[in-house]
A and B are shown apart, each in its own frame.
Chain A
């Protein structure tokens, strides 16, 4: 699986949009971009994933650049409960017997009141 690079930490004011970047310059054509987050002392939580098109769900939006070498997770209206470590992961979306997820260090997002 391709390696990802994320800033170790970021701050964002409550109510503002939080934009979390991720670089994955070695991503291959069949690798998807996944985002998970982990709130302190809890298990990771799936947020969103995508291949090349931008994606949106009830939690967030995922913007993937045209060359797919980077992406941005957007939390449109951050709340204090969004304070967590956010992990960007790229991996092959295979039909079965796939390897486990490779989590990096992630970005510690701190929402300021």
Chain B
């Protein structure tokens, strides 16, 4: 079956702009979580959605938001972009919340955002 699909794969924005990233989970998976990866901070948890509800949130400012649709697809939005938001944004899906059933998260290839 198809894996986790993230779009776009690469994008360039300027400071102050906003960006929306999309994630399509594996068919049948109801949980989608988002991570930010930077060389300095590594992989950091942003938030998790399960059945259209945000279940958990990491320690990120309110400029970072997300949502999940009834078909489990998810989007995350970053407003008022800063240079430090340049990162690889990874989406992961699992059958249940945060991989709680099997411990297994399936990650996409990521969306690489560059803020100039």
A contact set with B: CB distance below 8 Å? 32, 34, 36, 41-46, 49, 87, 93-106
Q: Is the interface of A mostly helix, strand, loop or mixed?
A: loop
Q: What range describes how many residues of B lie at the interface?
A: 20 to 34
Tell me which residues across on chain B come within 8 A of A95, comparing CB atoms. Answer: 100
Interface residues of B in 61-106 (CB under 8 A from A): 90, 92, 96-100, 103-106
B58 CB–A CB distance under 8 Å: yes
Interface SS of chain B: strand
Contact: A102 with B103, CB < 8 Å?
no
Pick the contact of B110: A36, A43, A105 (CB < 8 A): A43
Nearest Cβ in chain A — how far from B29, in angstroms? 13
Contact A97 B56 (CB under 8 A): yes
19 A-B pairs with C-beta separation under 8 A = A41-B109, A43-B4, A43-B90, A43-B109, A43-B110, A46-B103, A49-B104, A96-B97, A97-B50, A98-B98, A99-B98, A100-B33, A100-B48, A101-B35, A101-B45, A101-B98, A102-B45, A103-B43, A103-B44
